[in-house]
Structure 1
Amino acid sequence: MISVKDLTSGDNFFLMAGPCVIEGEDMALRIAERVVTITNKLGIPYIFKGSYRKANRSRIDSFTGIGDEKALKILQKVGTTFGIPTVTDIHESAEAAMAANYVDVLQIPAFLCRQTDLLIAAAQTGKIVNIKKGQFLSPGAMSFAVQKVVDAGNPQVMITERGTTFGYTDLVVDYRGIPQMQEFGFPVIMDVTHSLQQPNQTSGVTGGLPQLIETIAKAAIAVGTDGLFIETHPEPSVAKSDGANMLQLDLLEGLLTRLVRIREAIK
């Protein structure tokens, strides 16, 4: 079983990357194969990311998934095929044990990071629990979410910064939060792509600023983040979820190469 120490014991940052949602087996395997090739080359520990279901949608007709069990089995196949850990998000406490049968890391969505029952259920699986910071919370307030998982008997915790609500349809990143949350004693991840969302657009479809992906990522590495979270897709324009702020897969290697150089420089 993977541990937090496995991800942070080296000199490099680690990466959580993949599509927003599992759209099908071929796509998931293709993305994973490409990212594995890149991260092996650059010496970056890698966790494949994919949501088995999207519960937080602006409109009722938005794509939510291909079926829970089908998507979870695809995540499991990605892990066994490439020998890599996988992560998916859960939305209700009853989902924790189910998802834990298929993946190595359980992710708590930002809007749900204060849900005590959900945090405890995730903790009790024994899996790593990655808690996304609520867009409505200060970095310091995340200590209470972390403590719930630890008090439930699971010290395998990570925290993800994903921007803070600013106005009605935008987010900002306060990089002071990264070292502040690292003081809790757990790794901090920068969610690069979700931090560039422009939620609650009048169309009911979330917008984004993907042209700033490199800016957000470079700044996060420069201030010493432990890991990066990047949603990527071969063709973001046709992705079934969050295409407006995803990184085109062909651009990933160049970006990570430049980020490794920054990491080396600050070390």
Structure 2
Amino acid sequence: MANQLPEAIFPSSNNSMLLIAGPCAIEGLDLCLQIAEFLKKETEKRQIPLVFKASFDKANRSSITSFRGPGMDEGLRILETVGKAFEVPVISDIHLPEQADAAAEVLDIIQIPAFLCRQTDLLAAAARTGKPVNVKKGQFLAPWDMKNVVTKLKESGASQIMLTERGASFGYNNLVVDFRSIPILKNFGYPVIFDATHSVQLPGGAGTHSSGQREFAPVLARSAMAAGADGLFIEVHPEPEKALCDGANSLHLSSLPGLLDQLCAIKAILGESSP
């Protein structure tokens, strides 16, 4: 079995559940601090390890006029501020190999976007930083195809790897989730995260931007936890309707505590039934 993530980020207890959460894109320091404070409070109540996420650049937006974020320099500054303020690990995406080293100076985990999960140079650059790497499974890949992604990372020096399921393309502007992928991905020996909010995205579903069905995200999150996921990736916003990126599939921040209670209960049952 491969090395697990550091204890501070990913406890090894069977009853633990990692939460990666935050806004889709960095809209500003104040909003990130507001969301991080809420997340920290709610996860500490439930002894859930938290990683704060927000993208400094959304490079794969539907339209050239779509909001992308503040860029790498300002975005990393904001993430560093949030991480220090709440003593919480931070994660964000990189899109180019040359971004890896600068990102690694701030990020606790480097994330590879789903559309770029097969980009060998990007994976190798992330691996060479020595930081944990979270790779989102491409919407165009079968779960067993991620073995090649894992091999690229391992042969480039990575030992701390997470794999994230986020649905598969199904016809036009739609995704579906095959929950068999969670045990299949877990067979590679690394933690498996389920992206509950991007899995209900309708890519390009609103013409110049993506749409989504946030009402189904809790259903998928509960199902993924029951299927054995080690953690959840959930984008949240205090006012999703006003979010500058992926608001249609982001959860209302106020709805998260109830969902966390349900997820913890499911995780506890699984832990109790383990041999």
Residue matched to 2:12: 9
Q: Could you tell me which amino acid in structure 2 is paired with residue 158 of structure 1?
A: M
Deviations 1:120-148 (A, max 9, x none): 00000111100000000000000110111
Q: Could you tell me which amino acid in structure 2 is paired with residue 87 of structure 1?
A: I
1:134 corresponds to 2:138? yes
Deviations 1:38-62 (A, max 9, x none): 0000011100000011100110100
2:154 to 133, 150, 154: 150
2: distance between equivalents of 1:67 and 1:210? 27
SS in 2 for 1:4: coil
SS in 2 for 1:79: helix
1: distance between equivalents of 2:75 and 2:159? 28
1: distance between equivalents of 2:203 and 2:158? 33
1:64 corresponds to 2:68? yes
Count of residues in correspondence between the two structures = 265
The question of whether the paired residues in 2 share the 8 Å contact of 1:23 and 1:66 is answered with yes
Question: Which shifted more, 176-185 or 96-105?
Answer: 96-105
2: distance between equivalents of 1:125 and 1:228? 24
Question: Which shifted more, 114-123 or 93-102?
Answer: 93-102
Q: Could you tell me which amino acid in structure 2 is paired with residue 243 of structure 1?
A: G
Deviations 1:61-90 (A, max 9, x none): 000112321111110111111111000000
Q: What stretches of structure 1 of length at least 5 have no aligned partner?
A: none
2: distance between equivalents of 1:203 and 1:139? 29
Residue matched to 1:43: 47
Query: How far did residue 153 of structure 1 move?
Result: 1.2
SS in 1 for 2:36: helix
Residue matched to 1:103: 107
SS in 1 for 2:234: strand
TM-score (norm 1): 0.97
2:82 to 59, 78, 81: 78
Residue matched to 1:230: 234
Residue matched to 2:187: 183
Deviations 1:211-262 (A, max 9, x none): 0111001001111100100000000001110001000001111110111111
Residue matched to 2:254: 250
Sequence identity percentage: 50
